[in-house]
């Protein structure tokens, strides 16, 4: 059966790493039909609309979407795209790979981030000149859904769960998030604890090996996963899956990297590992494993891009991965 894959490179290095990940998908050749669409700062400058209806509709109808990176228009691009695919969970695995000089090679954890609400719900306003407000939305339904997804994910892999929150300060919102996640924990035979997200940030840096699956509210997941990227050698290595019930969107955790965009030296690893997650989501487990192995072997033996201390280009790394495949 042909599966439709939407490809939305977005801005900056998204334009460089997304085609590399698409080449990898084409090389392992399940019966994919690709359709490409625009979104982001450039299309906003040209048309006034960062997310054309056709792009949103493509993501909403495709079996899976491969996304690159969003820049200044992130709130108008990636948040509605996640909503278009019905995503409730943003899954961000963080692993140290051989050959990357990871500061913490023992790191092997996964952030399961709530993907629909919190401070990213879009209720932000200027109430008067010099005075702005943001409404943080936390519902029992979304908290239960993300907690259940996190505990199921951990149970399938025989891992533990840490519930991240700041319920001592955000008593209502994170109080509800924590109480709901703790109630879900009761249903599972999975070791579980909770952690204040600020203390958790320190513990992640000191002993990342203590953590398996971290279930967290939206903003906490965004921030803590970038922090964890620093444990394993940088943002160029972290893939993510925005999981929905019927479809999903896959993207590197990194943004547009304007400092190197256009130079052809962006690390395509995160985008390629996102492609591996896409394959697995669609049930192509063998192909996903093959992509992961080829990417890991390339990280170990090179060539490597400058973020990992090498001098290879995106093209060099892509060719090396394709050769291994």
Catalytic residues: 120, 166, 198, 222, 226
Least distance from ligand GGG to the Cβ atom of residue 186, Å = 30
Q: Supply 36's token pair.
A: 């490409």
Size of the site for ligand GGG (CB under 6 A): 10
Nearer to ligand GGG, 21 or 190 (CB): 21
Nearer to ligand GGG, 251 or 280 (CB): 251
Nearer to ligand GGG, 120 or 177 (CB): 120
Nearest to 294 by CA among 266, 265, 320: 320
Binding to ligand GGG by residue 239, rule CB under 6 A?
no
Binding to ligand GGG by residue 38, rule CB under 6 A?
no
Measured CA to CA, the distance from residue 161 to residue 185 in angstroms comes to 9
Please list the residues that pair with 66 across neighbouring strands.
7, 250
Q: Supply 309's token pair.
A: 């201390």
Binding to ligand GGG by residue 252, rule CB under 6 A?
yes
Binding to ligand GGG by residue 40, rule CB under 6 A?
no
Which residue stretch of 21-29, 44-52, 249-257, 282-290 sits at the interface with ligand GGG (rule: CB under 6 A)?
Answer: 249-257
Which residue stretch of 45-53, 157-165, 190-198, 248-256 sits at the interface with ligand GGG (rule: CB under 6 A)?
Answer: 248-256
Least distance from ligand GGG to the Cβ atom of residue 250, Å = 10
Nearer to ligand GGG, 233 or 255 (CB): 255
Nearer to ligand GGG, 251 or 316 (CB): 251
Measured CA to CA, the distance from residue 306 to residue 131 in angstroms comes to 42
- Alpha carbon distances (Å) from 276 to 72, 229, 291, 318: 27, 18, 6, 14
Least distance from ligand GGG to the Cβ atom of residue 206, Å = 25
Measured CA to CA, the distance from residue 280 to residue 269 in angstroms comes to 17
Binding to ligand GGG by residue 251, rule CB under 6 A?
yes
Binding to ligand GGG by residue 222, rule CB under 6 A?
yes
Determine contact, residues 37/52, Cβ cutoff 8 Å. yes
Nearest to 13 by CA among 291, 265, 228: 265
Q: How far apart are the first and last CA of the chain?
A: 23
Q: Are strands 32-36 and 3-10 parallel, antiparallel or unpaired?
A: parallel
Burial 175-189 (b: 16+ CB within 10 A, else e): bbbbebbeebbeebe
Here's the x/- map for ligand GGG, 49-78, by CB under 6 A: it reads as: --------------------xx---x---x
Nearer to ligand GGG, 63 or 251 (CB): 251
Residues at the site binding ligand GGG, with contacts judged by CB under 6 A: 69-70, 74, 78, 222, 251-255
């Amino acid at each position: 059966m042909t599966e439709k894959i939407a490809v939305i490179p977005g801005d900056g290095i998204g334009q460089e790493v997304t085609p590399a990940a698409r080449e990898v998908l084409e090389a392992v050749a399940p019966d994919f039909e690709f359709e490409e669409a625009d979104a982001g700062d450039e299309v906003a400058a040209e048309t006034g609309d960062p997310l054309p209806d056709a792009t949103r509709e493509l993501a909403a109808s495709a079996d899976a979407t491969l996304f690159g990176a969003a820049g200044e228009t992130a709130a108008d691009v990636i948040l509605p795209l996640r909503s278009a695919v019905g995503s409730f969970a943003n899954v961000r695995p963080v692993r140290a790979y051989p050959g990357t000089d990871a500061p913490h090679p023992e790191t092997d954890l996964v952030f399961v981030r709530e993907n629909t609400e919190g401070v990213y719900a879009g209720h932000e306003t200027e109430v008067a000149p010099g005075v702005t407000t943001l409404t943080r939305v936390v519902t029992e339904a979304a908290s239960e859904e993300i907690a259940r997804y996190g505990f199921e994910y951990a149970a399938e892999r025989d891992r533990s769960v840490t519930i991240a929150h700041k319920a001592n300060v955000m008593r209502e919102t994170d109080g509800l998030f924590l109480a709901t996640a703790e109630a879900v924990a009761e249903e599972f035979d999975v070791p579980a604890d909770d952690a204040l997200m600020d203390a958790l940030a320190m513990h992640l840096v000191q002993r990342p090996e203590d953590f398996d699956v971290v279930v967290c509210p939206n903003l906490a997941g965004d921030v803590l996963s970038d922090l964890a990227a620093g444990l394993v050698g940088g943002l160029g290595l972290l893939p993510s899956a925005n999981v929905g019930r019927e479809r999903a969107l896959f993207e590197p955790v990194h943004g547009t990297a304007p400092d190197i965009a256009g130079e052809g030296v962006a690390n395509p690893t995160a985008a390629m590992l996102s492609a591996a997650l896409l394959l697995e989501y669609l049930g192509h487990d063998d192909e996903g494993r093959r992509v992961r192995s080829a990417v890991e072997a390339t990280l170990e033996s090179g060539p490597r891009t400058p973020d990992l201390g090498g001098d290879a280009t995106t093209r060099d790394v892509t060719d090396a991965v394709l050769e291994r495949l």
